[in-house]
Structure 1
Amino acid sequence: MMTEGMFTNYFLPGIWITIQVTLYSAALGLVVAFAIGRLRASRLWIVRFLAGCYFEIFRGLSALILMFWLVFALPVMFRWQLVPLWAAVLALGLTYGAYGSEVVRGALAAVPAAQREAGIALGFTRFQRLRRIELPQAWPEMLPPFNNLLIELLKGSALVSTVTVADMTFAGNLVRLGSNESAPIYTLLLVLYFVMAFLLTRGMRLLERRAKANVGQGRLRASLAPREEAGEGHGALTAGGAR
């Protein structure tokens, strides 16, 4: 029978490992998503081709098999041993980053061309246009699909148990072997994953609301700016006429 000691000694450390794997993989995946997504819209065909190759390759790979390859095949082929935790993070981050790159590419492509043209007219560099015009408008559109990918990544983190990373699933299997009980162990795992996914969803939706509010405030300031300038000009003319 599962006891409080089993939960404290096995599940709590497993929860922390699951959180670490999810956060590290999400951070790596976010960097990969923005890099590949931006490169796939490059003006240079060779850059688009290489970024497209990465997208197609890692979208078509199994994260589990890539994990096995990094842990078991890489040391044999190149005599370079990765710690299983970091091999798992690398496999998940590279795989989910490929999916995220399509989100980034699509959201940036959805920004109206007139916005980019306005940035060019103002003399912005490509980086300035990306930072000041494109990303602020594309970011709120990226958050809902990023939320789905993050939840999938959390659930996919259970795969790391197959390469001896002591996450929640690994801990649950150990406790099941020690207690000979399957139903309560796997029911607890279902509840734990659901609670973590629910909390992530709440956090991402809060971030989405704030991002949309910031975009709305930015558009309001942009629409009021010409009116304020016109008002200042009218005031100056009135003052001039009074003189």
Structure 2
Amino acid sequence: MTSGLWEIVLRGVWVTIQLLVFSALLGVVVAFVLGISRTHRLWFVRFLSGACTEVFRGTSALVMIFWVYFVLPPAFGWQLVPMWAGTLALGLTYGAYGSEIVRGALNSVDPAQREGGIALGFTPWQRMRLILLPQAVPEMIPSFSNLLIELLKGTALVSVMGMGDLAFSANLVRLALQQSAEIYTYILLIYFVIAFLLTRVMRGLEKQLKQQLAGRPTGGAA
């Protein structure tokens, strides 16, 4: 490929990375808010968070992108730029999946730890912040790593909005070269490299968190 075509591809890589970072940040917020809410002692909080989870988890990410980008503007009178429309749709969708990871990890913490916090007079938020989350978060990392890779692949869906991500850029180059095999082989390799790097970063984070957890006393023993 010529340098001009490579420039198009590299711009697409940058857009994909930006979208991945923004939607991952939103997804983490959604995952923890919904996941923690699903362990709340009040039934209506659990019901509302569960309903939100099922709505976003049970909806196609592609349809959600269409809805955010094409349905919201005439319904509410404002238009999101493609980057933020993609971020919102992907963040809500994958955040809903992540909420199940958070809920499951919190429920897997030894009940004696929670009871120890109650015995020490901790408030529910203190128990969550000081006892449950420090033990649950390291267990979430492998599942979050897989979900992050799925999110990376899901970013290709934003090309339907004409957004210049990696998939959209690859199609432009394919049309220019009239060679599908070469360009899509390169794109496969680029996605693989990004995914590989993400996996390594997440493994390092998991190792660091577990080392920190091993070096601190548990809430029940405090």
CA offset at residue 5 of structure 1? 2.2
CA offset at residue 221 of structure 1? 11
Q: Who is 2:49 aligned against?
A: 51
Q: Deviations over 1:100-157 (max 9, x none)?
A: 0000001001111111111122221111111111011001100000000000000110
Q: Who is 1:166 aligned against?
A: 164
**Structure of greater Rg:** 1
Q: Who is 1:228 aligned against?
A: none
Q: Who is 1:153 aligned against?
A: 151
The answer as to whether partners of 2:114 and 2:220 remain within 8 angstroms in 1 is no
Q: Give the whole-Å Cα distance in 2 for the aligned partners of 1:185 and 1:191.
A: 10
Q: Who is 1:104 aligned against?
A: 102
Q: Deviations over 1:52-87 (max 9, x none)?
A: 100111111001111011111222222221111111
Q: Who is 2:81 aligned against?
A: 83
Q: Who is 1:199 aligned against?
A: 197
Q: Give the whole-Å Cα distance in 2 for the aligned partners of 1:47 and 1:17.
A: 37
Q: Rate the CA distance shift 1:81–1:221 in 2: closer, same or farther, 3 A.
A: closer
Two-structure CA RMSD over aligned residues (Å): 1.6
Q: Give the whole-Å Cα distance in 2 for the aligned partners of 1:180 and 1:198.
A: 29
The answer as to whether partners of 2:113 and 2:220 remain within 8 angstroms in 1 is no
Q: Who is 2:17 aligned against?
A: 19
Q: Give the whole-Å Cα distance in 2 for the aligned partners of 1:89 and 1:12.
A: 20
The answer as to whether partners of 2:115 and 2:220 remain within 8 angstroms in 1 is no
Q: Rate the CA distance shift 1:165–1:177 in 2: closer, same or farther, 3 A.
A: same
Q: Give the whole-Å Cα distance in 2 for the aligned partners of 1:49 and 1:90.
A: 23
Farther-moved stretch of structure 1 (202-211 vs 67-76): 67-76
Q: Who is 1:6 aligned against?
A: 5
Farther-moved stretch of structure 1 (26-35 vs 71-80): 71-80
Q: Who is 1:179 aligned against?
A: 177
Q: Deviations over 1:134-184 (max 9, x none)?
A: 011001100000000000000110111111110111111111111111111
- One-letter code of the match for 1:90? L
Query: TM-score, length-normalised on structure 2?
Result: 0.96
Where 1:218 maps in the other structure, the secondary structure is coil
Q: Who is 1:93 aligned against?
A: 91
Q: Give the whole-Å Cα distance in 2 for the aligned partners of 1:120 and 1:218.
A: 19
Q: Who is 2:31 aligned against?
A: 33
Q: Who is 1:238 aligned against?
A: none
Q: Identity over aligned residues, as a percent?
A: 59
Query: TM-score, length-normalised on structure 1?
Result: 0.88
Q: Give the whole-Å Cα distance in 1 for the aligned partners of 2:30 and 2:96.
A: 7
Any gaps of 5 or more consecutive residues in structure 1? 226-243
Q: Who is 1:137 aligned against?
A: 135
Q: Who is 1:190 aligned against?
A: 188
Q: Tell me how many residue pairs correspond in the alignment.
A: 222
Q: Give the whole-Å Cα distance in 2 for the aligned partners of 1:221 and 1:51.
A: 27
Q: Rate the CA distance shift 1:220–1:32 in 2: closer, same or farther, 3 A.
A: closer
Q: Give the whole-Å Cα distance in 2 for the aligned partners of 1:129 and 1:71.
A: 40
